[in-house]
Amino acid sequence: MLSDKIVLAHGSGGTLMRTLIEELFVEQFADPELKRMDDAATLAVAGSRIAMSTDTYVVSPIFFPGGDIGRLAVCGTVNDVATSGAVPLYLSVGFILEEGLPIADLKRVLVSMSEAAAEAGVRIVTGDTKVVEHGHGDGVYINTTGVGVLAGDTERGAANCKPGDRVLLSGTLGDHGIAVVSQREGLAFSTDIRTDAAPLNHLVANVIEAAPAARCFRDPTRGGLASALNELAVASGVSIVVEESAVPVRAQVQGACEMLGYDVYQVANEGKMIAVVPAEQTEAALEAMKRSPYGEDAAIIGVVEEASPGKVYVNTRFGSTRIMDMLVGEQLPRIC
């Protein structure tokens, strides 16, 4: 049920955002691609197939340990395009600048964007700039939209997971969310936790080369691993069982989550990729991840099952099993 006004939790990546998207956007725009609710649309263009994805970045503050809104804006959209299995080629960029923003800050953000684009191997080809009065923005908001090209006809959407598949994660959870919140709140305990924001298109391409039957990819951003896996479980009509002891989390991040009352499975990541692969290609996919940039801590974290479709479970370190729920309400507003 929708409320009558927008609240922060409508942007959380959790259940309220999902309701808003399903009941309002998907309903009104009524497009089959939108309805799939994948991170990227896959589209026919003159006999070829392209992937297209968009994200607006409103992270606060715009500079944080290990990165800034510019690096985030390039990596986030590159990764969303890559989840479809496409090779990202082109980015557009739309800026909303707030009156009073220091030009030096804007330059710093642009340098980050250039560097991240060069690393990902994508071109920034078109742009737009709007300025709003002081008090109607927050320094800078950035939209990037990415286009990539798909080789072959393989669909790697969220609905492709099958019982028996394995779930891989490319590295440690929670770094981005904790880095931003520590900067925002001036928390001393986490001074060396840095964002993981990184372009993962090369990692995805390596996994597809090693494991051509890879079912799907998803990057666990807003709403964290919990939202991403729940979306896969619902879209595929399967359940997913995660082994807590197999999920890589830095001790400092785990400590920060406990202190702040966050569930690390619900904290945003900006440089991690989930891959679901058939059992027989699991080892090849894991090896490919591990030898890719940003994949050294990759691990097999779970398995896809037939029973209880739409549910995600965690086998805890203590031998019990609990449900891994999507975020309800808002945990960390403006994390990306």
Residues 6+ apart with CB under 8 A from 281: 210, 211, 212, 213, 214
Touching its own copies, residues 251-270 (CB under 8 A): none
Sequence-ordered list of residues with C-beta below 8 angstroms from that of 123, at least 6 positions apart, any chain: 89, 90, 91, 117
Count CA atoms within 13 Å of residue 197 on its CB side.
33
Which candidate, 44, 37, 116, 126, places its Cα nearest to that of 90?
A: 126
Task: Return the residue of 72, 78, 89, 169 that touches its own copies, per CB under 8 A.
Answer: 89
189 binds its own copies (CB under 8 A): no
Report the residue from 19, 63, 98, 247 that binds its own copies according to the rule CB under 8 A. 98
Contact positions with its own copies (CB under 8 A) in 116-155: 117, 123-133, 135-138, 141, 143, 145, 147, 149
Q: Scanning residues 271 to 310, which ones bind its own copies (CB under 8 A)?
A: none
Size of the site for its own copies (CB under 8 A): 81
CB of 255: closest distance to its own copies in angstroms?
28
DSSP string, 270-333: SS--EEEE-GGGHHHHHHHHHTSTT-TT-EEEEEEESSSTT-EEEE-TTS-EEE-PPP-S-SST
Cα distances (angstroms) measured from residue 142 to each of 10, 177, 178, 196, 220:
19, 19, 21, 19, 20
Please give the C-alpha separations between residue 155 and each of 86, 247, 250, 258, in angstroms, as whole numbers.
10, 27, 34, 39
Of residues 194 and 334, the one with the C-beta less far from its own copies: 334
Task: Tell me the window of 108-116, 190-198, 230-238, 274-282 that interacts with its own copies (CB under 8 A).
Answer: 108-116
Q: Which is nearer to its own copies, 60 or 254 (CB)?
A: 60
CB of 197 to its own copies, least distance (A): 16
Closest distance to its own copies from the beta carbon of 237 (Å): 23
**DSSP category for residue 121:** T
Kindly tell me which residue out of 72, 73, 78, 93 binds its own copies, with binding defined by CB under 8 A.
93
Question: Out of 14, 65, 82, 90, which residue is the one contacting its own copies (CB under 8 A)?
Answer: 90
Contacting residue, 5, 152, 251, 320, with its own copies by CB under 8 A: 5
How near is the Cβ of 183 to its own copies at its closest, in Å?
Answer: 17
| Residue 322 burial by Cβ neighbours in a 10 Å radius (0-12, 13-18, 19+) | exposed
- Cα separation, 304 vs 164, in Å, equals 5
Stretch that binds its own copies, among 102-110, 159-167, 273-281, 311-319 (CB under 8 A): 102-110
Cα separation, 47 vs 247, in Å, equals: 41
Residues 46-85 that bind its own copies (CB under 8 A): 46-50, 52-58
* 10-39: contacts with its own copies (CB under 8 A): 10-11, 17, 20-21, 24-25, 28-31, 33-34
The residue (of 151 and 279) whose beta carbon lies closer to its own copies is: 151
Task: Find out whether 58 and 13 touch, Cβ atoms under 8 Å.
Answer: no
Token digits for 5?
């006004």
Least gap, CB of 119 to its own copies (angstroms)? 14
